[in-house]
Chain A
């Protein structure tokens, strides 16, 4: 699986949009971009994933560049409860076995939402 690079930490003011970048310059054509977050002392929470088109759900938006070498997770109106470590992971989706089925976590970005 391709490796990702994320800034170790970011701050965001409450109520403002939080834009979390991720570089995945070695991503393969069949690899998806997944985003998870982990609030302190809890299991990771799935946020969103995409292949090449931009995606939006009730939690966030995912913007993937045309060359797919980077992406940005957008939390449109950050709240204090969005303070967490955000992980960007690339992986082949829809496979049913083998190494391509594993989610490998990097170090992520600690997002601190300030009041």
Chain B
């Protein structure tokens, strides 16, 4: 299957700082990428849809000013958690859709805010 990478795999930061997570499609171009969040023992929750060259579309209840998404190229989308707080600690997962094929997921980034 197609390969999607994420960096970093885990990050610890202090409350009030911002954290950037990168999502890359390694062997295909992705016009659309997706960002999910997963809390312990829960399912994945879609946060936003990232479209190359345009603004992201956020799901209801997700603060766009807190979770900044940039999709500047066909192989890279970034999620920045601004002014992170302990309640933002979670497992963040990106995915990319291969045209006319399935959607492939990255390995996830575990964020811990102290």
Answer yes or no: B11 CB below 8 A from chain A CBs.
Answer: no
Instruction: State in angstroms the CA–CA spacing of A79 and B109 once bound together.
Output: 27
Instruction: State in angstroms the CA–CA spacing of A42 and B107 once bound together.
Output: 5
The answer to whether B104 touches A46 (Cβ under 8 A) is: yes
Instruction: State in angstroms the CA–CA spacing of A46 and B44 once bound together.
Output: 14
Q: Which of A49, A101, A102 contacts B102 (CB 8 A)?
A: A49
Q: Which of B31, B34, B95, B108 contacts A42 (CB 8 A)?
A: B108
Instruction: State in angstroms the CA–CA spacing of A92 and B93 once bound together.
Output: 22
- A103: nearest chain-B partner, CB-CB: B103
Q: Which of A46, A49, A102, A108 contacts B34 (CB 8 A)?
A: A102
Answer yes or no: A81 CB below 8 A from chain B CBs.
Answer: no
Task: With A34-B102, A49-B102 as known contacts, state yes or no: A43 contacts B46, CB within 8 Å.
Answer: no
Across the A-B interface, the 8 shortest Cβ-Cβ residue pairs: A43-B105, A105-B44, A46-B102, A44-B105, A105-B43, A43-B108, A43-B93, A43-B107
| B positions within 8 Å CB-CB of A | 1, 4, 6, 31-32, 34, 36, 43-46, 49, 51, 91, 93, 95, 97, 99-100, 102-108, 110
| A positions within 8 Å CB-CB of B | 34, 36, 38, 41-46, 49, 87, 94, 96-97, 101-108
